[in-house]
Amino acid sequence: MPVTILAIESSCDDTSAAVIRDGYVLSNLIAGQEVHRSYGGVVPELASRAHQANIVPVIDEALKRSGTGISDISAVAFTRGPGLLGSLLVGASFAKGFALSLGIPLIEVNHLHAHVLAHFIKIKGREDNVPLFPFLCLLVSGGHTRIVLMKSYLDMEVLGNTIDDAAGEAFDKCGKLMGFPYPAGPVIDRQASEGNSKAFKFAKPSVKGLDFSFSGLKTSFLYFLRDRLKEDTDFIEKNKADLCASLQYTIVDILTVKLVKASLETGIKQIGIAGGVSANSGLREAVRAEAEKRGWALFIPAVDFTTDNAAMIGITGYYKYLRGEFAGQDITPLARL
């Protein structure tokens, strides 16, 4: 019997549903929320309302596109956290109701674990192109920046964490200072390709071990802009591409230095990047260069599986299903895990 998982992701501002069969994606739909763009960040109350409006049509369409009938679903997997509580509640409530009405197992998934397991989504003809354990992954998203050690599909150890802001937050907040809409990461990425990464220098933190810090960079960027704008009110407009390239270079360097350190300290050369910021072209280029220099087997997920998506929840649900790790109807979402 094939194992078919209906997966639901609603931790932040994307409502996503996917159908995964035996580790292969049959459908993966994502409804984004334009409503936050002009606010410079996600507004939690607006996010949960948009999830409520989107969840049924998105799941319905994911089922239709997968060619799967409801009776084919083996289990339903959902994001338990971390994330915005109001947003998580929408996905969790739907998943619980769905599982209860069909009498199928319910599987709770840690969103961060899922970002990492996106590397194990099966692609026809490329089934062998997956990391071997132990595997090191740099997980960089809007809310988290971590280096994790995966010993198996379900055994994840955190080796390093951000002590303040996440890398995605650094992109988004600095982008906001330049007047970009949320999320600013992709905009900075595009602008950076036309700028000089050495044009400006920003503060890099000194943080012990494998931990990260980005709040100093944000402050240094803020003061830098404030001083330059005093001299020339058009400074940002005139230097947009160079500002983006220099900022991106600094963030990517902070991340890459720690990933290299983690590999040297553990002796592990199976390396991956994951999460929304892993879509960044500067980061992809930097880790590719390190991989070549250091003989890493490098894994970079397809762009569709970097930012929030339900396929990654589905693949994690699949491995939990195989291990019989099911949740009860009394499960509650958690903003922090």
Give the C-alpha separation, 8 to 322, whole Å: 18
Q: Output 142 or 314, the one with its CB closest to ligand KG4.
A: 142
- Choose from ligand KG4, Zn ion, none: what does 277 bind? Cβ within 5-8 Å by kind: ligand KG4
Applying CB under 6 A, which part among 150-158, 182-190, 233-241, 311-319 lies near ligand KG4? 182-190
SS3 for 268? coil
Of 170, 136, 180, 163, nearest to 282 (Cα)? 170
Q: Which of residues 137-156 bind Zn ion (CB under 5 A)?
A: 141
CB of 143 to ligand KG4, least distance (A): 4
| Secondary structure (H, E, C), 204-251 | CCCCCCCCECCHHHHHHHHHHHHHHHHHCCCHHHHHHHHHHHHHHHHH
Q: Which of residues 266-305 bind ligand KG4 (CB under 6 A)?
A: 275-277, 279-280
Give the C-alpha separation, 44 to 53, whole Å: 14
Applying CB under 6 A, which part among 93-101, 121-129, 140-148, 290-298 lies near ligand KG4? 140-148
CB of 281 to ligand KG4, least distance (A): 7
Applying CB under 6 A, which part among 86-94, 137-145, 216-224, 286-294 lies near ligand KG4? 137-145
CB of 131 to Zn ion, least distance (A): 19
Torsion of the alpha carbons at 158, 162, 167 and 170, rounded to the nearest 10: 170
Phi and psi at 8, nearest 5°, equal -130, 130
CB of 288 to ligand KG4, least distance (A): 15
- Choose from Zn ion, ligand KG4, none: what does 91 bind? Cβ within 5-8 Å by kind: none
| Two structure tokens written together for 162 | 């951000």
Q: Output 48 or 307, the one with its CB closest to ligand KG4.
A: 307
- Choose from Zn ion, ligand KG4, none: what does 16 bind? Cβ within 5-8 Å by kind: none
> Is residue 284 a contact partner of residue 300, using CB atoms and an 8 Å limit?
yes
x/- track of binding to Zn ion for residues 7-26 (CB under 5 A): --------------------
**Can you tell me which of 78, 153, 171, 180 binds ligand KG4, judged by CB under 6 A?**
171
Strands 4-9 and 155-161: unpaired
Q: Is 208 exposed, middle or buried (0-12, 13-18, 19+ CB in 10 A)?
A: exposed
Does 117 bind ligand KG4 (CB under 6 A)? Our answer is no
Q: Output 105 or 175, the one with its CB closest to ligand KG4.
A: 175
- Choose from ligand KG4, Zn ion, none: what does 82 bind? Cβ within 5-8 Å by kind: none
The one-letter amino acid at 178: M
CB of 267 to ligand KG4, least distance (A): 28
Does 309 bind Zn ion (CB under 5 A)? Our answer is no
Does 308 bind Zn ion (CB under 5 A)? Our answer is yes
x/- track of binding to ligand KG4 for residues 21-60 (CB under 6 A): ----------------------------------------
H-helix segments, the chain? 44-66, 85-102, 111-117, 167-177, 185-192, 215-231, 235-266, 281-294, 310-322
Distance of CA 146 to the CA centre of its chain: 11
Torsion of the alpha carbons at 32, 34, 36 and 38, rounded to the nearest 10: 150
| Two structure tokens written together for 276 | 């929304």
Residues binding ligand KG4 (CB under 6 A): 12, 141-143, 168, 171-172, 183-186, 189, 275-277, 279-280, 307-308
Interface ranges with Zn ion (CB under 5 A): 141, 308
